[in-house]
Structure 1
Amino acid sequence: MLKLTSLGGAGTVTGSKHLLEHDGKRILIDCGLFQGLKNLRELNWEPLPIAPSTIDAVVLTHAHLDHSGYLPKLVKDGFRGKIFATDATRAVAELILRDSGYLQEKDAEYANRKGFSKHRPALPLYGIHDAERALERFSSVSFDKGVQLPGGATLIFRHAGHILGAATADIDWGGKRIVFSGDLGRYGDPVMPDPVPVPEADYVVIESTYGNRRHEADDPTEMLGSVIERTVLRGGTVVIPAFAVGRAQSLLYHLWQLKQAGRLASIPIFLDSPMAISATDLLHAHREDHRLLPEDCDTICGIATYTRDVEGSKAITASPYPKVVISASGMATGGRVLHHLKAFAPDQKNTILFSGFQAAGTRGRAMLQGAREIKIHGQWIPVLAEVADLPALSAHADSDELMRWLSGFRHAPARTFIVHGEAEAAEALRVRIDKDLGWNASVPRQDQAFDL
């Protein structure tokens, strides 16, 4: 008997962890951090309902923090198996996990120095050393080639689009085939490949980030150009909180397109995120995992001024001239973008432009919902700047695209599980799957177990 339990990413869009069990063996698909609302973030500190030492392997669909960010904690708490991922995912995870460990350590150090933590002393969830120990456990897997997992399972990765290295995971175990979508990308994306269809599955586990929404059909390059040009006309700066991996590189592509068309000629563009700069470098190292031609890739990556050091970042903030600033984090939960928000959000001539999903409980969601103040570094910062949203730039499949990927299966699976979405999005996708495909679909609860 094969058993599926969602230990995270059930009823929420963060913390994805899906456990498969068969004949005494355990495989965890994704191992993400909870983000956003405080009651979700607190779950990161709760012990898993199973001992990490009893997990035989982890399959990682892609490296974003909400899918990979708990790996160092898993290793810290006793996991000793292999982490199976594509080569590009391993490279991206090296950036993300080391950065996460560093930030955890810095946050604990700051809390101890300022004395505002209820814990004495405040400790990080994990540190850089734990991240490096997790990276040592990675085992690279090629796309479209079967690999053996513990307990006799077979894994096949197929391109999912979304970000560099992202994959769907097809696991054949105990006579059953279960396919995990991970995070699916967009069809026709200019940078990432289309999600590859999967022909057969007995069970499907699908994300539902945008399960209740359709992205606008307008040209994202044109929409981005319009936002920048109207801001520049009033003498303002455009600050774009961007996910360092995936979104920052897509933005560079669209900005390059605008420059090619003779627009934004004199407008300086800054990429102010050391991780985003390193992730952009990975486009050169993993050319087979994206659509860009080598010569275009070089030109696209060269249109922005890269800012690695803190002094350079401060100079951007201090400059009164119109410009475009791309900086992490994408939901304005931390990182250098917070300093830019403190500087530019209080002035109505500027624009804060969001280009990706904003989870509940984040500053990004609050601003999109009309918040006129946001708290940064203990201060309440007025938001008088224009706040714009370009969901057409999202790297997540929308409802139609999720259904398109599901329609690639030749036969209806016995059951479809809808995960990694807020409650309304997951339920909307469940209803649509029932209505349009006639499939048996359900939305698992946290820690709910299913015998397959």
Structure 2
Amino acid sequence: MRLTFMGAAGTVTGSKYLLEHGGRRVLVDCGLFQGLKQLRLRNWDRFPLDPATVDAVVLTHAHIDHSGYLPALARQGFHGPAFATEATRDLCGLLLPDAGHLQEEDAFYANRHAFSKHKPALPLYTEQDGRRALKLFKSRPYRQAFEPIPGVQMHFHPAGHILGAASVEVAWDGGTALFSGDLGRDHDLLMRPPEPPPAVDHVVMESTYGDRLHAQEDPATLLAETVDRTAARGGIVIVPAFAVGRAQALMYLIAELKRAGRIPDLPVFLNSPMAADATAIYHRHRAEHRLDAEQCHRMCHAARIVNTVEESRKLNDLRYPAIIISASGMATGGRVVHHLKAFAPDHRNTILLAGYQAAGTRGAALVAGAREIKIHGEYIPVRAEVVNLGSLSAHADRRELLAWLGRLPRPPKRVFLTHGEPVAADSLRLGVQEAHGWDCTVAEHMQAVEL
């Protein structure tokens, strides 16, 4: 078995792992690169091999940095099946067309306002490309064996993180491997903890938070204090939030805080029709998460859904305390960028970040204390308060990653670390070696190894 790291090596985005066995090819994850420009440009490169020669794709979960390149791959000639859990398939039904739609919107806006260097600016793929890619999906239950190619058997194992997230166990004549996917937390607000890993020869594990521990503060208390403080100033709380996972956790928290009288009864706007649809999918797949039917109902009705572009524009004219939750979670695009442009210059407002912020994103710049951010070709002053709600992260931290790895029934031959910035990945490498004494390396982009 030959493994090539085609993404998420040296960075937290663009997850793609090519497996080659018996003359066949399987791609585990098919994600978009995000963040730094030199990474985003990789999305536009011709795929390193003929996409038509890839026999199957297997997705660990629906987040765009793991699934969002699939429409582009199909546009270039891939026509095989894309295997995923049922919930991942359902969420990709929202995320992939929406990703194409946002790219079309951004290209249209860039051309209309002439701030792009490209004449004309074009989307990587369209909404229609996203819908076509959905026809490739074949869902498989957790723990049930399937063969993406002859001679290679795979299983999905629950990974926490978000609805449908899975680790992928791979077995072939001569060896076994496990791709962790993004691992969730032991005590996540919504999701159940990751399942312990099975005995395997090789592990490919994420290292997003490999060099740090999550803050121990109570996210509900920090959110309540932030909302109270902002409302007292007469300000608006802007929350860039991933439409799948963080948006639902935030709405659940807001509903519970209002119910307990811990925050004022402010209007809450969910400016992401896709996030609203994703919330309904959480309702359908209740067996996978912690919320009961009543809690799900309150979460689903915690916010007013903003559907049209015109309604979205009107939010920028708000002059009374409110909460606006909008994608994207790292403020790289989508409707939230327009809200940041409108509200970041006012000291009464608050920008609340509630997830991992990859290097090179506006979210990362805000966490680092940037006093201005570039939006649509111009620099916007940041006078609003910036709050980082790190304890709400859906990623396992260093302690949880090491604990998950420590649950392996026997030592693996080798551990490869991916999906982390260089410092985080190398810190976790040292942690694995110190805790277990195992052979552990940080994968490099386009590195190929024989398993």
TM over 0.5: yes
Residue type of the alignment partner of 1:196: E
Matched position secondary structure for 1:8: coil
Match of 1:123?
122
2:408 pairs with 1:409: yes
Q: Deviation per CA, 1:314-346, whole angstroms, max 9, x where unpaired?
A: 333212111111111111111111122122111
Q: 1:365: how far off?
A: 0.8
Q: How does 1:17-416 map to 2 (within 5 A)?
A: 17-416=16-415
Residue type of the alignment partner of 1:182: G
Matched position secondary structure for 1:428: helix
Matched position secondary structure for 2:6: strand
Inter-partner Cα distance in structure 1 for 2:406 and 2:223 = 32
Inter-partner Cα distance in structure 2 for 1:225 and 1:118 = 43
Inter-partner Cα distance in structure 1 for 2:10 and 2:414 = 17
* Alpha carbons 1:212, 1:426 under 8 Å: kept: yes
CA distance 1:110–1:327, change in 2 (3 Å): closer
Residue type of the alignment partner of 1:379: E
* Alpha carbons 1:22, 1:174 under 8 Å: kept: no
Indicate the percent of aligned positions where both proteins have the same amino acid.
55
Residue type of the alignment partner of 1:62: H
* Alpha carbons 2:163, 2:245 under 8 Å: kept: yes
Q: 1:112: how far off?
A: 4.1
Q: 1:120: how far off?
A: 4.5
Inter-partner Cα distance in structure 2 for 1:360 and 1:192 = 26
Inter-partner Cα distance in structure 2 for 1:116 and 1:317 = 22
Query: Tell me, which stretches of 5 or more residues in structure 2 are unaligned?
Result: none
Q: Deviation per CA, 1:73-97, whole angstroms, max 9, x where unpaired?
A: 1111111211000111011111111
Inter-partner Cα distance in structure 2 for 1:163 and 1:201 = 24
Q: 1:122: how far off?
A: 3.7
Matched position secondary structure for 1:169: strand
CA distance 1:203–1:254, change in 2 (3 Å): same
Structural RMSD (CA): 1.4
Inter-partner Cα distance in structure 1 for 2:265 and 2:196 = 43
Matched position secondary structure for 1:314: helix
Matched residue count? 451
Residue type of the alignment partner of 1:254: L
Match of 1:442?
441
Q: Deviation per CA, 1:377-430, whole angstroms, max 9, x where unpaired?
A: 222211001111011000111111111111110111000000011000100110
Q: Deviation per CA, 1:127-159, whole angstroms, max 9, x where unpaired?
A: 122212211010001011111221221111111
Query: Tell me, which stretches of 5 or more residues in structure 1 are unaligned?
Result: none
Inter-partner Cα distance in structure 1 for 2:11 and 2:323 = 32
* Alpha carbons 1:367, 1:387 under 8 Å: kept: yes
TM-score computed with the length of structure 1 as normaliser = 0.97
TM-score computed with the length of structure 2 as normaliser = 0.97
Q: 1:431: how far off?
A: 0.5
Inter-partner Cα distance in structure 1 for 2:93 and 2:21 = 30
Q: Deviation per CA, 1:134-190, whole angstroms, max 9, x where unpaired?
A: 110100010111112212211111111111111111111232111001111111112
CA distance 1:317–1:383, change in 2 (3 Å): same
CA distance 1:349–1:106, change in 2 (3 Å): closer
Residue type of the alignment partner of 1:85: A
Match of 1:422?
421
Matched position secondary structure for 1:156: strand
Which of 409-418 and 376-385 deviates more? 376-385
Match of 1:12?
11
CA distance 1:314–1:118, change in 2 (3 Å): closer
Matched position secondary structure for 2:48: coil
* Alpha carbons 1:45, 1:125 under 8 Å: kept: yes
